[in-house]
Structure 1
Amino acid sequence: MATPRPGRRRQLLTHLPFALVLALVAIAAMRIGMYHWRQGATLIGGALLVAAVLRAALSDEQAGLLRIRGRAIDVLSYVGLGLLILFVALTITGGPLG
């Protein structure tokens, strides 16, 4: 089996942060599908916060698909949406999914 070229390996590593966030969202989708919507929503909020940390810590080249706009806008967007989803997931009580 041939080993990947160094440039190809770097391209694969560039997509690793996005793959991590996507894996967390997939786990959250499974929890929501099992009618544990609050846990799933909390995991999605957590995944967005992980994306914010990765986007803040990694360079533009290393951030890969987590890079949408400038670093500050990306981090603020991820943190804002993550906290909003966490707030909704942790404060709503009752209802048919309670």
Structure 2
Amino acid sequence: MSRLPPLPRSRGSQIYLGQLVVVTIGLLLTVVGFWRAGVATIGASFLVASLLRAVVPQSHDGMLRVRGRVFDVTWTALLGAALVVLAFNVPGQPG
């Protein structure tokens, strides 16, 4: 019987993995036809990841250490906000 691999030890890596899971859920929502909910879910995951990245201690950066904290927080917040705004402002399509 196979065992699942252990979770990453660093908080930064756990944040990254969690965001990957939520983005996958958002993509699945988009594929099955709930595109607005899917895009909003992906955007919200980026906003939450941005907040978490801002507060994670440097000793727990993990995989996130390759980029700077300011870059990560700024980029993910802007991307998340843009996706959420897009999800709620694109008009419905006829038909």
Give the TM-score category using the shorter length.
Answer: 0.7 to 0.9
Shift of 1:66: 3.8
Query: 1:76 is aligned with what amino acid?
Result: T
Q: Match of 1:62?
A: 60
Change (3 A) 1:67 1:39: farther
Structure 1 unaligned regions, length at least 5: 1-8
Shift of 1:39: 0.1
Equivalent positions of 1:21-36 (< 5 A) are: 21-36=19-34
Structure 2 unaligned regions, length at least 5: 1-5
Q: Give the length in aligned residue pairs.
A: 88
Distance (whole Å) between structure 2 residues aligned to residue 29 and residue 40 of structure 1: 6
Distance (whole Å) between structure 2 residues aligned to residue 52 and residue 85 of structure 1: 14
Structure of higher CA gyration radius: 1
Q: Match of 1:5?
A: none
Distance (whole Å) between structure 2 residues aligned to residue 20 and residue 75 of structure 1: 16
Q: Please report the TM-score for the alignment, with normalisation by the length of structure 2.
A: 0.80
Q: 1:12 aligned to 2:13?
A: no
- Given that 1:45 and 1:85 are in contact with CA atoms closer than 8 Å, whether structure 2 keeps it comes out as yes
Change (3 A) 1:67 1:86: farther
Q: Percent identity?
A: 32
Q: Please report the TM-score for the alignment, with normalisation by the length of structure 1.
A: 0.78
Which secondary structure state, in structure 2, belongs to the residue aligned with residue 46 of structure 1? helix
Identify which of 33, 56, 80 aligns with 1:82: 80
